Amino acid sequence: MTVMLDLRPEVEARLRDKAAASGLDLPAYLQKLAERDAAGAERDAAIMTDEEEEERLHHGILRGLVDEAAGRVKPLAQVVAEARQKHGFPETWPFGGEAAK
């Protein structure tokens, strides 16, 4: 699968630097990050530096883009409707007094 990303130049440069430091080209590095994230590799957010937290957020965004491109995401309205049907929740769930649009 091919995923197109429109990264800010400074983000792309930082990722290219990290890829080079790992001995990988950018696509291989992004693949490695996606695989690591998909496997559930998480670090304790309480001890992360700001740079590490920013990198983790970028990985999460990348994972979301990959999942969307692969058709592994559903619209929120669909998830809510399925939960209502499966569990018998009222039409107002989870929005209080307002039904989901």
The residue ranges of every structural domain in the chain are 9-70, 74-101
Q: Backbone phi, then psi, for 38, in 5-degree steps?
A: -65, -30
Distance CA 47, CA 53 (A): 9
pLDDT at 55: 85
Structure tokens belonging to residue 59: 């990985």
More confident residue, 37 or 68: 68
pTM flag (> 0.85): no
Average pLDDT over residues 54-82: 87
